[in-house]
């Protein structure tokens, strides 16, 4: 990777939608995360933060508020070229910072890679203990009803 390109974590802009979809769906095609449609990304663009390197989106994550006391970190992905450099950690930290600013006491995630989130103090929880409202997205999931994602939660 050309390190002359300055990378920056920032709020996503609507023009970032295609780049977010490309990253997320690359990993989704490998079975590592769930796919996102472009319309879903645009509808939720204010939830996203990105790692931008010049005009290229190199990482993303979203914090989606579900209820007055809980939010989800979703669509966390960093391109392979910059993995291991702390950008995934920066995205999670930024989501947690925003959750604290919103006075949310809990954040959860559904993931195929629980060890990554456990490094941030998340612990496994039975999916059934999460609010039913979160299952609205499950109906559209290609893995429904045989979900293999692991639910993790963290108190803030």
CATH of the domain at 42: 3.40.630.30
pLDDT in tens, 114-150: 999 999 999 999 887 887 556 566 655 566 556 678 8
Would residue 113 count as lying in a domain? yes
Domain coverage including residue 149: 7-155
String of b and e for 93-109 (b: at least 16 CB within 10 Å)? ebbbebbeeeebebbbb
Confidence of residue 32 (pLDDT cuts 50, 70, 90): confident
Instruction: Provide the percentage of residues in the chain whose pLDDT is more than 70.
Output: 87
Number of structural domains found in the chain? 1
Computed over every residue of the chain, the mean pLDDT equals 90
Across the range 69-94, mean pLDDT stands at 96
Would residue 79 count as lying in a domain? yes
Tell me how far apart the alpha carbons of residues 145 and 154 are, in angstroms, rounded to a whole number.
25
pTM for the predicted model, two decimal places: 0.90
Q: Is the pLDDT of residue 152 over 90?
A: yes
Strand 70-78 relative to strand 48-53, pairing: unpaired
């Amino acid at each position: 990777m050309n390190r002359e390109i300055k990378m920056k974590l920032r709020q996503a802009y609507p023009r970032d939608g295609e780049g977010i979809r490309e990253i997320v769906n690359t990993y989704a095609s490998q079975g590592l995360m769930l796919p996102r449609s472009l319309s879903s990304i645009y509808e939720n663009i204010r939830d996203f933060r990105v790692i931008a390197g010049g005009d290229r989106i190199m990482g993303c994550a979203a914090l989606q508020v579900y209820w007055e006391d809980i939010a989800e970190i979703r669509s966390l992905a960093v391109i392979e070229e910059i993995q291991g450099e702390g950008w995934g950690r920066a995205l999670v930290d930024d989501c947690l910072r925003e959750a604290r600013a919103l006075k949310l006491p809990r954040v959860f995630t559904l993931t195929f890679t629980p060890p990554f989130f456990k490094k941030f103090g998340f612990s496994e929880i039975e999916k059934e203990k999460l609010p039913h409202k979160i299952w609205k997205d499950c109906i559209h999931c290609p893995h429904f009803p045989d979900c293999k994602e692991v639910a993790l939660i963290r108190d803030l």
